[in-house]
Amino acid sequence: MNNFKVFLLMALMMSLLMVVGYFLGGNNGLILAFLFATVFNFGSYWFSDKVVLKIYKAKEVSESDHPRLFRIVKRVCLQAENMPIPKICIVPSKAPNAFATGRNMEHATVAVTEGLLSILNDDELEGVIGHEIAHIRNKDMLIGTIAATFAGAIGILASIARWGAIFGGYGRSDDNRGGGIGLLVAAIIAPIVAIIIQMAISRQREYKADATSGNITGKHLALASALEKLHKAPVRLNLDNRPATANLMIANPLSGKGIANLFSTHPPVKERIERLNKLSQKHLYKGLAG
Q: Which residues are catalytic?
A: 132
Q: Could you give the CA distance from residue 106 to residue 213 in angstroms, rounded to a whole number? A: 19
**Residues with Cβ within 8 Å of residue 252, at least 6 apart in sequence:** 237, 238, 246, 264, 265, 266
> If you count them, how many residues does the chain have?
290
Q: What is the DSSP string of 17-28?
A: HHHHHHHHT-HH
- Helical H runs in the chain? 2-24, 27-55, 67-79, 114-119, 122-137, 140-166, 179-184, 190-217, 220-232, 269-289
Do 96 and 235 touch, CB atoms closer than 8 A? yes
The single-letter code of the amino acid at 274 is E
Number of other residues whose CB lies within 10 A of the CB of residue 261? 14
Q: Round to the nearest angstrom and report the end-to-end CA distance of the chain.
A: 24
Integer Cα distance of 262 and 126 in angstroms: 30
**CA nearest neighbour of 126 among 68, 65, 67, 76:** 76
**How many Å apart are CA 207 and CA 268, to the nearest integer?**
10
- Specify the 3-state DSSP secondary structure of 169: coil
Distance of CA 199 to the CA centre of its chain: 8
Give 113's strand partners: 91
